[in-house]
Structure 1
Amino acid sequence: MMGSQAQDKFSGFYKQWLKQQDANLKELLSAPRDPSHEQLHQAIVSKVVTHYKQYYTVKWVAAKDDVLGFFCPTWFSSLENAYHWMTGWKPSLVFRLRTSLRQTRVPRASLVDMTEEQLEKIQKLMIRIKMEEDRVDREMERQQVSIANKPMVDLSRLATQVKNGEVVGELGKYVDVTLSSLLAGLEQVMKMADCVRLKALNGVLEVLNPLQSLDFLAAIAMLQIQLRVVGKRRVNMQR
């Protein structure tokens, strides 16, 4: 059961988005592996990246109405939420996934054939993304600490006065202003994290050639889809 109309609406969008993601995965896996089809590979990669960007565009619009819903989303399984970081996947995941694919040759061999120049660029990008992640973590910590700042302390004091029978005419307005500030801070953290996610994804794709990008995006989609399948299966078993 959704907690708000904004969550209901986004949940509906997400179900349709997942259907397209599944279709995109099939297209990624069925594309010809010959490097001579580079133009086709580029078109498919562009289509998949646009699909991801659509997700964040709709997410940001929905978050303006209910940002808290994205910090405890009901449209994800408990397993998916357990692996989330700041309302989504952790950017550094893409680097661990790339390393795993090179070691295990899954799902294709193209990522095994990365050049030394590519590996060096990926390493530098990984360092930059880790710094960005740390910056988001610090901002989230700052937002959490702000709960104990003077406005919230004053709010607690005013609420106590009301309980004691003292009428405070501006209490409702004060509450709205204080909470609006807190929610705006959480929205900022969410957007910062999403930007790092997109920066990590785009950064890796800029280093890979079209065929490697095809395999990389297929691996990301398979991981997300399988995590969801296992998570939903676990929920059904517990019912």
Structure 2
Amino acid sequence: MPVPKGFKHSEESRRKMSAAREGKPHSEGRKAKISLANAGKVRERKHRKVCACGVVFLTAAQNAIFCSLRCRRAAKGHGLRHAPAFAHFPKQCAICASKHELVGDHDHVTGKPRGILCRNCNLAIGNMFDDPQRLRVAAKYLEGRLMRLYVAGPMTGFPQLNFPAFHAETARLRAMGYEIVNPAEINVDPSAGWLECMRADIKQLVDCDGIALLEGWAKSRGASIEQYLARALGLRVYDARNIIGLAGDMPVLSTDVIAPAEAEAA
């Protein structure tokens, strides 16, 4: 049988040699020789190296690169943190400030470098699909916080400034598990000026996760401003009538319609 160029043995010979070696243990004499050769042999760690994670370590291997197996695994496939594009980032995790098992993090859509993270933080945001909203929900879950909604609606021109409607909706939503910010509880003085009330309300609105709009909100100047500000800030905007429950950090809606500002304003 012809032997391929570059090989010393034919394919059949290689197959026979492989079969002969398979499962063949060392003889007792061979084991004794190996044991005798290694007896008393101490590998002196005399080479001073600096790991990619920044740790200085001593090793017996002159070609050692990493201080541990974990660092080697962390660097495998993530060597881009050593690329020039990451040179200006601090050599620590941008989230937890750890200096161990660092990797380069980049935007998976644009490919642009975002910073340097430790392996754990990089895996965490990756498992959350790089979704800021999902991460905010996870933080609230860990902190035991509820979804915070601001109730907005018309007041001026209504009997008792429409406070009964605000209180009724607040009680209904709180019974479902929401944390509610009620302007009727913020501005208890009916003689307070419109601008004074709006200033107090907006301070509370910006700290909320979303806004629940009462019926007739589009005819109210203050509620329209609050609705516009909530959308501009990226808060969730709902028609209060559609909210029928709470599942985790997401309202359960009776319809798929989310507060159509244009439709009601029209």
Normalising by structure 2, what TM-score?
0.18
Q: Specify which structure has the higher proportion of helix.
A: 1
Using CA pairs below 8 Å that are at least 6 residues apart, which structure has the higher relative contact order? 1
What's the TM-score once normalised by structure 1's chain length?
0.19
Larger strand share, 1 or 2: 2
Structure of greater Rg: 2
